[in-house]
A = this chain, B = another copy of it.
Amino acid sequence: MNAEKAKRPPSGPRAALKRQAIVQAARELFLKEGFGVGMDAIAAAASVSKVTVYNHFGSKEALFTAVIAGALDESLAEPTAALGELVEADDLRSSLLDAARHWVRSVRADNDVTALRNLVAAEAHRFPELGRGWQHHGPEGHHPAVAHALRTLADRGRLTIPDLEPAIIQLYALLVFPHIVFDLYGTDIDDDLTDRLVVSGIDMFLGFYSPQPAS
């Protein structure tokens, strides 16, 4: 009975509140002190016992993954909604520009998500689970929405995409990867160049994947 209990995270409204308090405390402490922060410090900040933290999350990696998942869900909600509207768009270029600007803004924002991204980058080679957690909740979490939008646009004849996988990566590459890479080395791309990259990236993408007029 006890072994069973230890494996399942506690449930119910009180447990949910505790869980939320632990994730919130962990987010603040990971950001302040890095992944090396102790589970007892997190437990103390959440006003629960260390045993409760382990009952809920099992390990520090799992707790960190929960922190990532929460932060990325918040940050990707708006860009994912913008992608959803895209497939219904009359003016594809203008809707793509709009979705791209939302997406780039969320990637460039100086917030917990970007700080967590840099923390994952710093620790992913020592703790591969963190890198996988990020991939799963970030790029792969967003990826189905991007894939769905591109596939729907292709089905409706608005785009011609013979090979979907590179097309998805190219959209990320043209729009968000420059910001991730520059930020990684502690530099950034200014607002003006950011917008020139969005406009020219979308035009390049559309130029390549728009149906060619019959000749």
Q: What residues make up the interface of A, taking CB atoms closer than 8 Å to B?
A: 118, 120-125, 128, 131-132, 134-135, 139, 163, 165-167, 169-170, 172-174, 177-178, 180-181, 184-187, 189, 193, 196-197, 200-201, 203-205, 207-208
Q: From DSSP, what is the main secondary structure of chain A's interface residues?
A: helix
A185 vs chain B, min Cβ distance (A):
4
A134 to B123, CA, bound (A): 19
A172 to B182, CA, bound (A): 12
A63 vs chain B, min Cβ distance (A):
18
Establish whether residues B169 and A131, one from each chain, have CB atoms under 8 Å apart when the complex forms: no
Copies in the complex: 2
Which residue of the partner chain, among B172, B184, B203, contacts A184 with CB atoms under 8 Å? B184
Establish whether residues B124 and A186, one from each chain, have CB atoms under 8 Å apart when the complex forms: yes
Establish whether residues A131 and B170, one from each chain, have CB atoms under 8 Å apart when the complex forms: no
Closest to A196 in B: B166
Closest to A132 in B: B186
**CB-defined contacts of A200 to chain B, threshold 8 Å:** 163, 166-167, 170, 208
Establish whether residues A201 and B170, one from each chain, have CB atoms under 8 Å apart when the complex forms: yes
A189 vs chain B, min Cβ distance (A):
8
Establish whether residues B166 and A131, one from each chain, have CB atoms under 8 Å apart when the complex forms: no
Closest to A205 in B: B204
Establish whether residues A169 and B178, one from each chain, have CB atoms under 8 Å apart when the complex forms: yes
A169 to B165, CA, bound (A): 21
A108 to B151, CA, bound (A): 29
A177/B173 contact (C-beta < 8 A), A118-B125, A163-B196 known = yes
Beyond contacts A167-B200, A180-B181, A207-B208: 10 other A-B pairs, Cβ-Cβ < 8 A, are A118-B125, A134-B185, A163-B196, A165-B193, A166-B196, A169-B193, A173-B178, A177-B177, A177-B180, A207-B207
Establish whether residues B187 and A135, one from each chain, have CB atoms under 8 Å apart when the complex forms: yes
Establish whether residues B186 and A181, one from each chain, have CB atoms under 8 Å apart when the complex forms: no
**CB-defined contacts of A208 to chain B, threshold 8 Å:** 200, 203-204, 207-208
A180 to B180, CA, bound (A): 10
A123 to B119, CA, bound (A): 10
